[in-house]
């Protein structure tokens, strides 16, 4: 508990560093924010109108004043108002995050359900033809970008079977479970394919290392079956690299899969981030990135705690 509290106490410091970084980075992007917001109509503004809009959005102040105002609002739970959507940033995040969260869970489930058993199978049959086949397919899967898999899936369904995946408005799972899964299954497969290949390779390498350990050989010499040795003694230790990889990948997925969401027209966090960058929507960009950073911190903490659950030799304490 002391370790958990110490880690949580560091969250505000990390979030402060992220907030400074994203605040400066988004303002270093070339282009005029007012023109990006209004598009071609921005060129029709008079100098007085442009000055009025600049003052209205607080962009007439220096960066220190702008950051101070934004930070003061953040401490009160106010992330600002998006000029692109005309809504509070927090409302937009909470509205779009359920889709991204569900897509991340589905992608993780597909990746681990495929990659973990296949990787273990390849390690048990190391240097055999089946192991070679698994390694080749894992290399192909990891080398193929997820947007290529998404485009191929759409092409096959459209040309080969005459149907298209459902796109557009997100249907919550509890409102229509079948419609929800029909809408998200293809994006989840597209995202999970490359991750499944990575899980396969990591699981195979980790299992090979563990199977050569002394305690595994001792368990075998005591007459335990092969399946018992693998699932009871070898697998918990082999899972640690897989958990590490899964935590990092899950954090990225919670940030939104920009290209896949764009291809399948899914209104998730990825598309929100893209819109915020293109429109120079400072408040929205800052709020979403800060939210993604918080998700990463939580996921990393859970991964560290999972290490101790998998390996009794790992212990954390307050320092």
Strands (E), the chain: none
All residues at 6 or more sequence positions from 216 whose CB lies less than 8 Å from its CB, including other chains = 210, 229, 233, 234
In this structure, the number of other CB atoms found within 10 A of the CB of residue 75 comes to 8
Task: Note the pLDDT of residue 318.
Answer: 47
- Report CA dihedral (228, 233, 236, 237) to the nearest 10 degrees: -140
Task: Note the pLDDT of residue 296.
Answer: 87
CA atoms in the 13 A half-sphere facing the CB of 238: 30
Q: Which residues pair with 81 in a beta bridge?
A: 88
Question: Which of the residues in the chain have pLDDT under 50?
Answer: 318-319
If you count them, how many residues does the chain have?
A: 319
All residues at 6 or more sequence positions from 85 whose CB lies less than 8 Å from its CB, including other chains = 92, 284
Residue pair 44/244 in contact by the 8 Å Cβ criterion: no
Task: Note the pLDDT of residue 165.
Answer: 65
Task: Note the pLDDT of residue 31.
Answer: 66
> What is the homologous superfamily of the domain 95-266 according to CATH?
MetI-like (1.10.3720.10)
Residue pair 228/131 in contact by the 8 Å Cβ criterion: no
Task: Note the pLDDT of residue 314.
Answer: 67
All residues at 6 or more sequence positions from 164 whose CB lies less than 8 Å from its CB, including other chains = 154, 157, 158
Residue pair 108/246 in contact by the 8 Å Cβ criterion: yes
* Burial per residue of 13-28, b for 16 or more beta-carbon CB atoms within 10 angstroms, e otherwise: eebeebbeebbeebee
Residue pair 131/118 in contact by the 8 Å Cβ criterion: no
Task: Note the pLDDT of residue 319.
Answer: 47
All residues at 6 or more sequence positions from 10 whose CB lies less than 8 Å from its CB, including other chains = none
pTM confidence score: 0.81
Task: Note the pLDDT of residue 256.
Answer: 67
Question: First CA to last CA across the chain, in angstroms?
Answer: 12
Separation between Cα atoms, residue 150 and residue 193, nearest integer Å: 10
């Amino acid at each position: 508990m002391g370790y958990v509290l110490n880690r949580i106490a560091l969250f505000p410091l990390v979030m402060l560093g992220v907030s400074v970084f994203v605040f400066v980075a988004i303002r270093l992007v070339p282009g005029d924010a007012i023109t990006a917001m209004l598009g071609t109509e921005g060129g029709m503004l008079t100098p007085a109108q442009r000055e009025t809009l600049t003052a209205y959005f607080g962009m007439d102040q220096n960066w220190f004043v702008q950051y101070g105002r934004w930070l003061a609002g953040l401490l009160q739970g106010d992330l600002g108002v998006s000029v692109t959507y005309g809504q509070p940033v927090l409302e937009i995040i909470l509205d779009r995050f359920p889709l991204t969260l569900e897509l991340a869970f589905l992608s993780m489930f597909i990746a681990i359900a495929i990659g973990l058993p296949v990787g273990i199978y390849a390690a048990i049959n190391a240097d055999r033809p089946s192991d070679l086949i698994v390694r080749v397919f894992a290399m192909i899967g990891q080398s193929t970008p997820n947007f290529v898999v998404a485009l191929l899936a759409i092409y096959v369904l459209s040309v080969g079977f005459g149907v298209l995946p459902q796109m557009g408005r997100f249907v919550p799972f509890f409102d229509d479970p079948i419609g929800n899964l029909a809408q998200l299954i293809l994006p989840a497969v597209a995202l999970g394919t490359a991750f499944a290949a990575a899980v396969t390779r990591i699981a195979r390498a980790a299992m090979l290392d563990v199977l050569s350990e002394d305690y595994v050989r001792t368990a075998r010499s005591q007459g335990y079956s092969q399946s018992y040795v693998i699932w009871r003694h070898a697998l918990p230790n082999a899972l640690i690299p897989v958990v590490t990889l899964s935590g990092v990948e899950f954090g990225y997925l919670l940030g939104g899969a920009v290209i896949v969401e764009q291809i399948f027209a899914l209104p998730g966090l990825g598309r929100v981030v893209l819109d915020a960058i293109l429109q120079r929507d400072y408040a929205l960009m800052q709020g979403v990135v800060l939210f993604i950073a918080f998700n990463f911190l939580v996921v990393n903490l859970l991964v560290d705690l999972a290490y101790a659950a998998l390996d009794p030799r790992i212990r954390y304490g307050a320092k």
